[in-house]
Structure 1
Amino acid sequence: MKVSFIGLGIMGMGMALNLADGEKDGEFRYLACDADHKALEQFKEKGIKTTTNIADTVDSDYIFLCLPNLEIVKEAILGENGLLQHLKPGQTIVDFSTISYIGATEIAETCKAKGIEFLDCPISGQRAKSMEGTLSIMCGGDEEVFNTIKPMLDRMGEQVIYMGENGSGQLTKVINNCALNICAASFSELMPVGVKLGLDAEKLGDVLMTATGSSFASQTLIPKVLEGDFEHGFSLDKAYKDMESIFEVLVKYEIPLPTLNGTMQTYQLALQSGQRDYYKQAMIRFYEDLLGVKVRKEGFE
């Protein structure tokens, strides 16, 4: 059996390295693929076969992808020189990329028409978790195929869940990400109000991180706000695609979600005010400027 992994970026690098251990254990032959020669160096050092040409992966039983966006995924699979032009019935594509729910279902339908299995398996977790093999992986597609590849997925993720038919993985991830967005937008709007009216930013942050209004977003992002840290490997601009993705679904199925709609407006205000290169907690900077305050701990310059 041959397995290939295409896309050795921030998240794909660790995942591909962990999956490569399957070759060391004698489970399959392995090929790592990326257009960037530098991304292949770690694999070459470990004696793992590499290529810069995705055409070299088309004889694989299972092809894993971790690519930046829907356009690149479509080009890699459906393009003029894409995988689907060369694959044969029975082969499987597993996509870890974060793309839209509708995009995933359309790709799956096209693949299925040619006898190719397609699973959408977006990931959740930061780069450190991808290196550790402790990501959360949410999977949509044929359940029998999922069960077949789960041992490989277990090399990359700590929580690997089958969510249902094609598109279910992407739908799960976008719902999770939008819930995070809502929580981040809520403290971004409210903390500047408290500071404007005289509350101590650090004490207010302590309450929002521990009391009933706490959330993963508040616990992880408020400490960064208090220290003036808005940098991150994943920008607000890129994260906005989750909002775009869920709104495609809401428009198609005519579903009104006022809270989510309000969060999207907060996102847009932050993007329009120059925060697009920073992370989600940078939404607070729009409201800081609006109210003329800084939500920082004492002594911060």
Structure 2
Amino acid sequence: MKVSFIGLGVMGTGMAFNLAKGEKEGEYEYLVCDANPAALEQFNTQGINTTTNILDTADSDYLFLCLPDLEIVKKVIVGENGVLQHMEPGQKIVDFSTISYLGAVEIAETCKENGIEYMDCPISGHPRTTVEGTLTIMCGGDEELFHTIKPMLDRMGEQILYMGDNGAGQLTKMINNCVLNICCASFSELLPVGVKLGLDPEKLGDVLMTATGSSFASKTLIPKVLEGNFEHSFSLERAYKDMESMNEVLMKYQIPLPTLNGTMQTYQLALQNGQGDFYKHAMIRYFENLLGVKVRKKSYQEAEAELVN
């Protein structure tokens, strides 16, 4: 049996290393692929087979993908030089990429027409959890295929959930991301208001990280706001695109979600303010500029004042 993994980015690298354990234990032949030769170097040093040509993976019994967006996923699978036209009926594609619900359903239908089973399995976690193998993986597709691949998924994730038919994994991930985005927008709007009216940024931040208004977003991102740290591998612009994908579903099924629509407007303000390349909590800088305040630790503000002087 041959297993391949395409996409060795921030999230894919750790996952691909964990999946390689199956070859070491004699369960399958294994190959990793990425268009960037530099991404393959650490795999080569570990004696893992590598390639920059996606067509070398087309004979895989199980082909795993972890790619940046829908456009690249389509290019790799159904594009003019994609793997699908070189695959045989009965082979399986397992896609960890975060793409739209409607896009996943479309790819699954195309694969099915060619006798290939496709399962959308988007992930939730951080680069550290990919290395630890403790991701949450949400799966949509054939349930029998899910149970077949679950031992391999268990190498990469801790919470492995079968959510339903094709697209169900992506829909679950989209809902999760939108809830996170809403939480982030709420404290980004309200923290500057408190500081404008005289509240201490650190004490207010402590409340929002521990009291009833707390969330994963506040606990994770408010400390970064207070430190003036807005760098992250996943940009605000990409977070907005997740909501765009959800909005496509809402328009198709005529579902009104005013809270999500309001959050999208908050993100639009931040994007127009030039925050798109930073992480989503950078949207707070729009409201800081609007109110003429900074939501920062006292030590950060003192250091900033020294630089100015």
TM interval, short-chain normalised: over 0.9
Amino acid at match of 2:150: K
The answer to whether the aligner puts 1:204 opposite 2:204 as a matched pair is yes
1:230-245 correspondence to structure 2 within 5 Å: 230-245=230-245
User: Matches of 1:52 and 1:281 in 2, distance apart?
Assistant: 35
Instruction: State whether residues 33 and 53 of structure 2, in contact with CA within 8 Å, keep that contact through their aligned partners in structure 1.
Output: yes
The answer to whether the aligner puts 1:30 opposite 2:30 as a matched pair is yes
Following TM superposition, where does structure 1 have runs of at least 4 consecutive aligned residues deviating by more than 4 angstroms?
A: none
Q: Deviations over 1:59-82 (max 9, x none)?
A: 110000111110010011101111
Shift in Å, 1:299: 2.9
Partner of 1:246: 246
Partner of 1:127: 127
Amino acid at match of 1:244: E
Partner of 2:9: 9
Partner of 1:287: 287
User: Matches of 1:7 and 1:210 in 2, distance apart?
Assistant: 38
Partner of 1:163: 163
Partner of 2:146: 146
Instruction: Could you tell me which runs of 5 or more consecutive residues in structure 2 were left unpaired when the two chains were aligned.
Output: 305-309
Amino acid at match of 2:261: N
Shift in Å, 1:58: 1.1
1:30-49 correspondence to structure 2 within 5 Å: 30-49=30-49
Partner of 1:269: 269
Partner of 1:105: 105
Instruction: State whether residues 181 and 239 of structure 2, in contact with CA within 8 Å, keep that contact through their aligned partners in structure 1.
Output: no
User: Matches of 1:155 and 1:171 in 2, distance apart?
Assistant: 23
User: Matches of 2:151 and 2:133 in 1, distance apart?
Assistant: 12
Shift in Å, 1:298: 1.6
User: Matches of 1:231 and 1:55 in 2, distance apart?
Assistant: 35
User: Matches of 2:193 and 2:207 in 1, distance apart?
Assistant: 15
User: Matches of 1:277 and 1:58 in 2, distance apart?
Assistant: 35
Instruction: Please provide the CA RMSD for this pair.
Output: 0.7
Identity in percent: 77
Amino acid at match of 1:159: Q
Amino acid at match of 1:20: A
User: Matches of 1:6 and 1:252 in 2, distance apart?
Assistant: 32
Partner of 1:77: 77
User: Matches of 1:295 and 1:199 in 2, distance apart?
Assistant: 10
User: Matches of 1:17 and 1:151 in 2, distance apart?
Assistant: 15
User: Matches of 2:291 and 2:32 in 1, distance apart?
Assistant: 51
TM-score, scaled to structure 2: 0.96
Amino acid at match of 2:265: Q
Shift in Å, 1:240: 1.5
Secondary structure class of the residue paired with 1:299: helix
Amino acid at match of 2:53: N
User: Matches of 2:299 and 2:75 in 1, distance apart?
Assistant: 51
Shift in Å, 1:132: 1.3
Shift in Å, 1:186: 0.3
User: Matches of 2:177 and 2:20 in 1, distance apart?
Assistant: 29
TM-score, scaled to structure 1: 0.99
Q: Deviations over 1:191-212 (max 9, x none)?
A: 1111111111111111111111
Shift in Å, 1:101: 0.3
Q: Deviations over 1:205-250 (max 9, x none)?
A: 1111111100000111011111111111111112211111100001
1:249-260 correspondence to structure 2 within 5 Å: 249-260=249-260
Q: Deviations over 1:8-32 (max 9, x none)?
A: 1111111001100000011100011
Corresponding residue pairs, total: 301
The answer to whether the aligner puts 1:57 opposite 2:57 as a matched pair is yes
Partner of 1:223: 223
Amino acid at match of 2:86: H
1:170-189 correspondence to structure 2 within 5 Å: 170-189=170-189
- Stretch moving more, 278-287 or 233-242: 233-242
User: Matches of 2:294 and 2:32 in 1, distance apart?
Assistant: 47
Shift in Å, 1:131: 1.3
User: Matches of 2:41 and 2:5 in 1, distance apart?
Assistant: 15
Secondary structure class of the residue paired with 1:262: helix
Instruction: State whether residues 108 and 118 of structure 2, in contact with CA within 8 Å, keep that contact through their aligned partners in structure 1.
Output: yes
Instruction: Could you tell me which runs of 5 or more consecutive residues in structure 1 were left unpaired when the two chains were aligned.
Output: none
